[in-house]
Chains A and B, each alone.
Chain A
């Protein structure tokens, strides 16, 4: 037998629930949120005091590694263009010095003029100090003809300690801050197991991401620059910093060496700039109540 429907208490309960929800919403609205994301810009002071200099001369690098990229030319061009836009120093446009040749000339103890930079319209500066010798040369050291790795590069580093040579260059360009160093851009290939996330779908169509170890052959490049900052007034090294960046691609991928070089340099340029100009690093932080 079907009797009359019993009156349930769901009506008042629903009203009570709605009231509680409304009260909670009002409470949340009154209290507001307890955290706020805020963009910040952190100013970073330069590592070097460049106030005594008005001008900067990126003179050249001892470069080696792959022949696909002229790392000396490209590094000088890139750093000069970055300094033009992101530094208060005036960038000197001078011919790029093939520092390898300079080092070799010094190594041979040549008293003749080396392949120095040519000022805007002038003669190349001497490798020697021009007053009867006295430069600390890198005589007696065998310099490898081809620089393929760091070991080959090592003997060339003495060039940066030759204060008389750098002082001479400084005089030639009215005592600028001199930027030089070494750049090694080498091929790298590796093979082995690599962990990658692989997307799978089960029988119910649910997506799952599983870490999978797969054997891969990869190739890419390693960039190892060392930036040396020299005081053009004294020829002494003020500061130097070395970096290492690496990029690897699937072996089937054909990425030009030059684009890899720029990709790797892109990572390093902020570090280079932070040595001589103040930078602002943008980020986001969370303020709390």
Chain B
């Protein structure tokens, strides 16, 4: 007798979670978009704040990590940039644009780490 009730409650919980998750994704996306618009105006710290927020809201959002990595790179925080790029690639390994950004970043990073050849 309890089984249908449990099933009903579980279904309701799943249904309730779907819009919540969709809202979170929408919220994360709007943070990313706002970050892009301020970065284009040169406000990189604000952009980083927005992209960090987006990754907190949706930790599976590869584009947010990619943008965050670019922000860190621009601020010279190269360790953080590397981690963010790697996370973006972990989430979206086939994204050629993320990979290209990462390759360009690595070129600079490797050069700075270069000691005696």
Residues of A within 8 A of B (CB): 35-36, 38, 40-45, 47, 240-244, 271, 274, 281, 283, 285-289
Contact = CB atoms under 8 A, between A and B. Distances in A.
A94 to B, nearest CB: 27
Contact of B39 (A35, A47, A287): A287
Nearest to B74: A40
B114 interface: yes
Contacts of B117: 241-244
Nearest to B35: A287
B111 A274 contact: yes
8 contacts: A38-B40, A44-B111, A45-B76, A241-B114, A241-B115, A285-B104, A286-B101, A288-B67
B2 interface: no
Interface string B62-83: 1100110010011110100000
Contacts of A38: 39-40, 70
Nearest to A274: B112
A286 B114 CA distance: 26
A289 B51 CA distance: 11
A271 B114 contact: yes
Contacts of A45: 76, 112
B116 A283 contact: no
A266 to B, nearest CB: 15
Contact of A42 (B40, B73, B115): B73
A241 to B, nearest CB: 6
A44 B70 contact: no
Nearest to A45: B76
Interface in B95-109: 95, 97-98, 100-101, 104-105, 108
A244 B62 CA distance: 39
A170 to B, nearest CB: 23
Contacts of A44: 76, 108, 111-112
Contacts of A271: 111, 114
